[in-house]
């Protein structure tokens, strides 16, 4: 029996399909708001403090006052997980500028609005993930930090969506976005890692990517495993010489990449991804099963 998606809104939990927001909400009209995606396992949210901290930082960066403090938000998340009734799932926490009159001026909105959705999330079919996905280098470049700070997890994802559309049209699973200087930034909804000569490499935050919570966990776990990890600038040619490539994110978790456009990655004799993936699952169990 499939679990019905639920929504926490205005302190009540209702079926998500019955939830309503105003057509005058500036999150809908102008993409004015922030969000977080969270996973929960064993009915406990994974890396909750990190996600709530990033939510608060994103809100502060756009001058948005959260309608509840983080303790109240954490309580709402716990209540929603219990009501949802499955051991694991996905949460989408959205804070908008709230309803106001037409026009982009934030002062037109008297109070921010918030809702949380509990549902399943599977970005790609399990079969595709197991075999390794294909990655398309998009022509759409990542919005530079001078225009929109990538540390802000905002509701406006049009830049990423355009890259994803390119991947769809190319018949590929996911898009890889470059920055204006032609260096690797991130996927449409995930961070990227490669392995070269046994070294785990990922672009530094200054290349225009989101500071992924899962990305930070992977760097920590790899270091603990004795794997050399570098945050260094990458170009597409570096990916074409990589032994391994994988994507990370709250929604993505860890997804292996087997092809980048026409280039097919080799099968390494001693891959690092299985070691890192096991450490990641062990971390989830340690944090959420206790």
Q: Are residues 99 and 166 in the same domain?
A: no
pLDDT of residue 109 exceeding 80: yes
Identify whether residues 199 and 106 lie together within a single domain.
no
**Residue 127 has what pLDDT?**
54
In this structure, the answer to whether residues 170 and 140 fall within a common structural domain is yes
Mean pLDDT, residues 74-102 taken together: 97
- On the question of pLDDT at 122 being above 80, the answer is no
Kindly state the average pLDDT of the residues 254-269.
Answer: 92
End position of a domain, from candidates 119, 140, 173: 119
Average pLDDT over residues 188-207: 97
Q: How confident is the model at residue 290 (pLDDT cuts 50, 70, 90)?
A: confident
> Is a pLDDT exceeding 80 seen at residue 247?
yes
Mean pLDDT of 136-162: 96
Question: Could you give the number of structural domains in the chain?
Answer: 2
Give percent above pLDDT 70 in the chain. 97
Q: How far apart are CA 274 and CA 285, in angstroms?
A: 16
SS3 at position 103: coil
Residue 25: give its domain's CATH number. Answer: 3.30.470.10
User: Structural domain of residue 218, as residue ranges?
Assistant: 126-288
Residue 270 is predicted with a pLDDT of 83
Residue 123 has pLDDT above 70, yes or no: no
Determine, yes or no, domain membership for 1: no
Give tens-digit pLDDT for 46-82: 999 999 999 999 999 999 999 999 999 999 999 999 9
Whether 73 is covered by a domain: the verdict is yes
User: What's the sign of the alpha-carbon dihedral 280, 276, 167, 126?
Assistant: negative
Count how many residues are written for the chain.
Answer: 290
pTM (global) more than 0.75? yes
Last residue in a domain, options 119, 146, 161:
119
Whether 181 and 226 map to the same domain: the answer is: yes
Residue 64 within a domain: yes
Whether 119 has a pLDDT exceeding 90, the answer reads yes
Mean pLDDT score, 28-40: 97
Beta pairing class for 244-249 and 191-196: antiparallel
Regarding whether 194 and 112 lie in a shared domain, the answer is: no
CATH number at residue 203: 3.20.10.10
**Shared-domain flag, residues 152 and 281:** yes
Residue 213 in any domain: the answer is yes
pLDDT at 121: 83
Q: What is the pLDDT of residue 129?
A: 58
Q: Kindly state the average pLDDT of the residues 106-121.
A: 95
Q: Are residues 196 and 277 in the same domain?
A: yes
What average pLDDT does range 211-225 have in this prediction?
Answer: 98
Same domain, 12 and 70: yes
Q: Mind listing the pLDDT tens digit for each residue in 162-175?
A: 999 999 999 999 99
Q: Rounded mean pLDDT of 6-23?
A: 96
Which residues make Cβ contacts (< 8 Å) with residue 156, sequence separation at least 6? 31, 148
- Residue 113: per-residue pLDDT: 97
């Amino acid at each position: 029996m499939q679990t019905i998606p639920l929504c926490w809104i205005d302190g009540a939990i209702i079926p998500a399909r019955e939830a309503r927001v105003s057509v005058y909400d500036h999150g809908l009209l102008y993409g004015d708001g922030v969000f977080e995606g969270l996973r929960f396992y064993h009915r406990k949210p994974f890396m909750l403090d990190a996600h709530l901290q990033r939510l608060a930082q994103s809100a502060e960066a756009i001058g948005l006052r959260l309608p509840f403090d983080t303790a109240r938000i954490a309580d709402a998340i716990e209540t929603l997980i219990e009501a949802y009734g499955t051991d694991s799932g996905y949460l989408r926490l959205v804070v908008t500028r709230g309803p106001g009159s037409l026009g982009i001026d934030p002062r037109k909105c008297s109070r921010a609005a918030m809702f949380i959705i509990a549902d399943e999330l599977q970005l790609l079919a399990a079969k595709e993930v197991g075999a390794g996905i294909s990655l398309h280098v998009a022509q759409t470049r990542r919005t530079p930090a001078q225009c929109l700070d990538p540390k802000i997890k905002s509701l406006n994802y049009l830049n990423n969506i355009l890259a994803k559309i390119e991947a769809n049209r190319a018949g590929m699973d996911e898009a890889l976005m470059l920055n204006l200087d032609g260096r690797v930034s991130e996927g449409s909804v995930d961070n990227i890692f490669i392995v070269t000569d046994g070294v785990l490499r990922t672009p530094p935050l200054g290349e225009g990517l989101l500071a992924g919570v899962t990305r930070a966990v992977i760097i920590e776990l790899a270091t603990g495993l004795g794997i050399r990890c570098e945050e260094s600038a990458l170009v597409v040619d570096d990916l074409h010489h990589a032994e391994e490539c994988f994507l990370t994110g709250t929604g993505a978790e860890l997804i292996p990449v087997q092809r980048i456009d026409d280039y097919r990655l080799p099968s390494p004799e001693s891959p690092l991804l299985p070691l890192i993936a096991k450490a990641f699952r062990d971390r989830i169990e340690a944090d959420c099963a206790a």
